[in-house]
Amino acid sequence: MERDVTHRVATSMWRSLRDMLDARRPVVLFLGSLFTCVLLIKYNPVESRWFPPCPFKYLTGWYCPGCGSTRALHNLLHGRIVAAFGYNPLMVACIPFLLVNGVGWMLPASNRRLFDERALSASAIVCILVGVVLFGVLRNLPMYPFSFLAPHG
């Protein structure tokens, strides 16, 4: 009996902590994004040690689908869209969707219908995953036109 009461109290505490963190998620995401943007505006990822190298590239020698994203964001924040596209075209193409989704998370829950990832079907998730993996494979092919997908500045 006493164990049951303790279990209910502990479950209730964890649930309230989770609810509190969920309520603050948009603020934490916004502040984290703002901090990252300030770092990327102030420091060039090519010249600075603030930004670690890609562990996948370091271990395998191949470009992952995200390779060049930090340099691309740095160039986007400085208004150099073509240079950003040269580092990671997939990430540059996804920025509008990420921004809309980020703004959607700031809206009240009743109005949050914009690109709600929980509403994606299983087939849509598989298509996105296949597209990202295909991009990662194609950008490592050393022949024209796929060589343009590899990060270059």
pLDDT digits (tens, 9 = 90+) for 10-48: 566 677 777 776 667 777 778 888 898 898 889 888 888
Alpha-carbon span 69 to 45, nearest angstrom? 10
In this predicted structure, the answer to whether residue 132 has a pLDDT above a threshold of 90 is yes
In this predicted structure, the answer to whether residue 126 has a pLDDT above a threshold of 90 is yes
pLDDT score recorded for residue 75: 93
The count of domains in the chain is 1
Contact indicator for 98, 72 with CB cutoff of 8 Å? no
120 within some domain: yes
Range of the domain at 68: 43-149
4 within some domain: no
57 within some domain: yes
Burial class (CB in 10 A: 0-12, 13-18, 19+), 71: buried
pLDDT-derived band at 107 (thresholds 50, 70, 90) equals low
Q: What is the tens place of the pLDDT at every residue in 77-100?
A: 999 999 999 999 999 999 888 887
32 within some domain: no
35 within some domain: no
Exposure class string for 20-48: b at 16+ Cβ within 10 A, else e: eeeeeeeeeeeeeeeeeeebbeeeebeee
pLDDT score recorded for residue 117: 67
- φ/ψ of 66, rounded to 5, equals -100, -5
Q: pTM of whole model > 0.85?
A: no
47 within some domain: yes
In this predicted structure, the answer to whether residue 2 has a pLDDT above a threshold of 60 is no
